[in-house]
Structure 1
Amino acid sequence: MIQKTLYLLLFFSSFSFSQFDDLDLTPADSLMQEGKIKDAIIEFETNYQKGNRDTNYLYNYACALAEDSQFDKSFAILRESLDLEIKLNPLFDPDFLNLRTDKRWNSFEDELISKIELEYKTIIVDKEYAKKLWKMRALDQAYYFQIHLAERKIGKNTTVVNTLWKVKNNINKENLEKLEKLIQQKGFPKKSLVGNNAVQAAFLIIQHADLQTQKKYVSTIEDLCKKKEADSQSFAYLYDRIEISEGRPQKYGTQVKYNKENQQYELYPLVDKEKVDFWRKEIGLSPINEYLSGYGIKI
């Protein structure tokens, strides 16, 4: 659920999963956090009937309905949310992967794209390329929450969790194959052609790929960043990940790890502790200690 979730490990972990922001949970969100979709929908509907029309609340309600395959109502509530605030999020939100199987999705997608272009006075030049990338981004982020939930409920090294990971790894593999075919046909996606959110799909897929693939594209991405056609912050995460994978210290301080023995997060070694904030500022990242505060780390 985009509006009540925090993508904690979007760039720097070995995977990403959505996690609810416990500081701002509604009862319905809490039920969703526990995987109790039908109970959550009842709670959402109760408050909806009481007049709750907050755009984020409606968005999350639509997510829950989509997860439960209640497509008619999900479309209706989602449109109500978007009438209050136009946003691109539904086009790459994994909660709406079920909704994508409905025959109405294509017209809904086209309608939302038109509204986005009108609202923000922008043009998505290659819409078909963008559409494919948005779907791939949704697939990239899909099922991490379910895996995390299963790990909490029944344990990490269980048949169910291992099976879910196999499914997820197969999705990532298929995503990468599709992306590389698209890159061969159209070139690496650029902001000026597909928009930043679609470019982010390529970043995520590559960051979740093997080291050889990451190294294959890192120079291309760096060049696009220099031309303002890709996101420099995302490049920093990819660059650091490669450095750490090859046993070198990281430049931007984006990579952390969890120490199971002392149950604390730790920062991977830095190239230069004194220069890290200068390098981070250059590409628009927050100061290192501000970034690490969420992990209880201070350098």
Structure 2
Amino acid sequence: MRKSILQFSLLFIVQMAICQSNPKEYNSLIKKADSCYNAKTYIIARDYFTEAFKIDHTNKSHLYNGACAAALANDTDKAFEWLNLSVDNGYANITHLKIDSDLTTLHTKKQWEKLIIKLEKKIEIIEVNYDKPLQKELLSIYEEDQGMRMKFMSVYDKPTPDRKKIDSIGKIMNSKDSLNLIKVTKILDTKGWVGKDVVGETANKTLFLVIQHGDLQTQQKYLPMMREAVNKGSANGASLALLEDRVALRQGKKQIYGSQIGRDNETKLYYVSCLEDPDNVDERRAKVGLQPLADYVSEWQIKWDVEQYKKDLPLLEIKEKIKN
């Protein structure tokens, strides 16, 4: 037994040394994997994730994303391996897991039920002191909010999207958003911005998601409350950055963090909406826990060139009716 512990300790030290000596390679592989996933080349994405996880396999989000790519590549074994590792490393968003269309092909497998039971037992221990009725209400709203958007994007992302279906789903989504906004604002007005220590991370995030999808007047009303919640640790700083940007643009001002992406009606190309002080955006993003802008915008096939952006900005300000 003592020998086994020693062997394990040495192996752990070696693995940690490998991970610490190759952070750039790991991040490069993850970036390539994400890019291939966005391009819908799922087999190549899975292969990049495989190489990345040989270096490190402790990031719950990366493991989850890898599992999605593997599932879409019809590699069931890899998908369940990485999902289980993700759960072991702290993933606990069971609501999202159940509605994620990337994982639909796994639902009929025996491993799926085992995974759900495993996660439910883990969550039961974590959430023993939560406000269960409030959490249940917010998780129901989350499932509806995100489920409708997944359904919308599944139609919108098709090579030849059905305009009638898009309009139909859009109307339903707007209707549900209005109803969910009433529920969430009632919670905020009576209980405040409840933290993840009260309702859990996913339910807590639901407050932001619903407000983010609301009208400008509602966003302006609850933005100060969210700022205060971030200072108290009851809300996520990165989420606040997204809301700050959305409100700024809707007020005719420039965004601060570059989170809002526009699309040209003629070229159909995506671009970063009007941004304040582009030179220092990554510094601001880092302070709230956001990745560098170049990595973020690559999801929309945007190549971030700050010098070119500054040249294009005056015309972009006119296009987006920015009030200087």
What TM bracket, shorter-length normalisation?
A: 0.5 to 0.7
SS in 2 for 1:266: strand
For 1:288 and 1:153, how far apart are their aligned partners in 2?
27
2:106 corresponds to: none
The whole-number CA distance in structure 2 between the counterparts of 1:180 and 1:136 is: 12
In the alignment, which of 247, 251, 261 is matched to residue 246 of structure 1? 251
Check if 1:188 corresponds to 2:193: yes
Q: Aligned-pair distance for 1:90? A: 2.8
Contact 1:55–1:81 at 8 Å: present in 2 too?
Answer: no
Name the CA distance, whole Å, in 2 between partners of 1:110 and 1:129.
23
The secondary structure found in structure 2 opposite 1:188 is coil
Q: How many residues align?
A: 227
CA distance in 2, matches of 1:227, 1:88: 23
Using a 3 Å threshold, how does the CA distance of structure 1 residues 233 and 81 change in structure 2: closer, same or farther?
closer
Superposed counterparts of 1:257-268, under 5 Å: 257-268=262-273
Contact 2:141-2:180 within 8 A present in 1 as well: yes
* Aligned residue runs from structure 1 range 264-275, under 5 A: 264-275=269-280
Matching of residue 284 in structure 1 with residue 289 in structure 2: yes
Q: Which has the higher contact order (CA 8 A, sep 6+)?
A: 1
Q: Deviations over 1:116-141 (max 9, x none)?
A: 253xx565521221221111111101
Contact 1:55-1:82 within 8 A present in 2 as well: no
Q: Could you tell me how far apart the structure 2 residues matched to 1:94 and 1:21 are?
A: 24
| Cα separation, partners in 2 of 1:291 and 1:176, compared to 1, 3 Å | same
Which of 115, 127, 144 aligns to 2:122? It is: 115
Question: Secondary structure at 2:270's aligned position in 1?
Answer: strand
2-structure distance, mates of 1:276, 1:168: 33
- Contact 2:87/2:119 (CA < 8 Å) preserved in 1? no
Question: 2 CA distance for matches of 1:53 and 1:165?
Answer: 36
> Structure 1 residue 22 and structure 2 residue 40: aligned?
yes
8 Å Cα contact 2:127-2:200 kept in structure 1 = no
* Per-residue deviation, residues 162-182 of structure 1 (Å, max 9, x unmatched): 222211111111111111222
Shift of 1:233: 0.1
Percent of aligned pairs with the same residue?
27
Q: Which of 219, 226, 231 does residue 226 from structure 1 map onto?
A: 231
Per the alignment, do residues 156 and 208 of structure 1 end up closer, same or farther by CA in structure 2, a change over 3 Å counting? farther
Give the aligned partner of residue 176 of structure 2: 171
Question: Matched residue of 1:198: which SS?
Answer: helix
TM-score between the two structures when normalised by the length of structure 1: 0.64
Q: What's the CA shift string for 1:179-217, capped at 9, x where partnerless?
A: 122233432221221122211111111111111111111
Structure 1 unaligned residues grouped into runs of 5+: 1-7, 9-18, 27-43, 60-79, 98-108
Higher helix share: 2
Task: Flag the structure with larger Rg.
Answer: 2
Please say if 1:126 is aligned against 2:131: yes
Q: Secondary structure at the match of 2:204?
A: helix
Amino acid at match of 2:277: D
Residue 213 of structure 2 corresponds to: 208
Distance 1:111 1:281, change over 3 A: closer
* One of 149, 153, 160 as aligned partner of 1:148: 153
2:193/2:234 contact within 8 Å kept:
no
RMSD value over aligned CA atoms? 3.6
Calculate the TM-score normalised by the size of structure 2: 0.59
Alignment CA distance shift 1:113-1:57 (3 Å)? closer
